[in-house]
Amino acid sequence: MLFTADHAEPRRILQKFIAAEINPHVDDWEEAGIFPAHELFKKLGDLGFLGLNKPVEYGGQGLDYSYALVMAEELGTINCGAIPMAIGVQTDMATPALARFGSDEVRKEFLAPAIAGDYVACIGVSEPGAGSDVASIKTAARSDGDDYVINGGKMWITNGVQADFICLLTNTGDGPVHRNKSLICVPMKSKGVQVARKLDKMGMRSSDTAQIFFDDVRVPKRNRIGAEGEGFIYQMLQFQEERLWAAAACLKAHETVINETIEYTRSRKAFGRSILDNQVVHFRLAELQTEVELLRALTYRAAEALIAGEDVTKLATMAKLKTGRLGRELTDACLQYWGGMGFMNETPVSRAYRDTRLASIGGGADEVMLNILCKMMGTLPGAKQKGHA
């Protein structure tokens, strides 16, 4: 069984924290287009939530991934998608490779304060000309004695405006594109790092997203995570936790949209009866709830496999694909049943509609997920046949 009685207390603590420290402020943060990351992350760090499955030597709890899954699922009760995403970047996107492959020195310098909530982290992979095509990034770090000198730029960087360091994927050699990249922890206060602008997004309004330039940024080679040239592999592994997190964080958020739609359509009258009394409405909501449960089962299965040390590429990819597709389908259907009010920014279904659209793009677009799955199934034209998965 994935969850035990031991999971109940952290779930309760997080629920209480969200109700008291996050949800009352979400509307203000959405309007401002930013939230106080250092203040919020410090509170989460003090409660131990930024290092549930991270090593105890660096302040983590040393628990298995099931506890991180509980956290991700409960974050779905936050009244927006932006804050859960920003927290997820800290815990499951910018730090897994650091925790797993970083030297003791680099983990003390960057992982420990990230777990404590003293540092805000961001992950630097995407570029204006290389989003889902990670292998084609152009940012480069040339060797200069004991240092790297970095030039290039990154785009769509969540937490980028407020971050203390970026876990940067950069080219460190001229070899094959899957073997010439490294992950490097770069302090954002380093000379030559420029946050060019805070991006204006359709959704995820309360998280800060940045475009960042690197102009002859000098960092010591000791800031590299693991071996030189292994960054692409490390990032692919890091993506698996990111994709599972994305699926888990959407579960309760989707259920909230369904439940709010039920309540609204029950009270809303048209042609002498409630909107909910129309079979097309209550049948559709039942179908959508079923789809959420199917996604939950897939996500839990993938988490169990991850805990068991299995390769979860296929299951995590499927969960990520389904998350994006279901988010679009569910919020579109529910918004329709809200009618004119659904088109108003003041209603929660409108925010959910805008926020969930990112799930089919960020962390690997739907088409990239399908490409991965087809490779594994041996059905991708030109790919080596591996037989059916």
Q: How far apart are CA 55 and CA 69, in angstroms?
A: 17
Quick one: 104 exposed, middle or buried, by C-beta within 10 A (0-12, 13-18, 19+)?
exposed
Quick one: 348 exposed, middle or buried, by C-beta within 10 A (0-12, 13-18, 19+)?
middle
Q: Give me the torsion for CA of 24, 29, 34, 36, rounded to 10°.
A: -30
Q: How far apart are CA 119 and CA 385, in angstroms?
A: 45
Is 109 known to be catalytic? no
Q: How many CB atoms lie within 10 A of CB 340?
A: 7
H or E segment at 209?
strand 209-220
Q: Give me the torsion for CA of 368, 374, 379, 382, rounded to 10°.
A: 40
DSSP state at residue 226: S
Distances (CA, A) of 12 to 19, 71, 244: 11, 10, 22
Q: How far apart are CA 131 and CA 128, in angstroms?
A: 7
DSSP state at residue 294: H
Catalytic residue, from 74, 230, 242, 255: name it. 242
> What are the residue numbers of the active site?
242
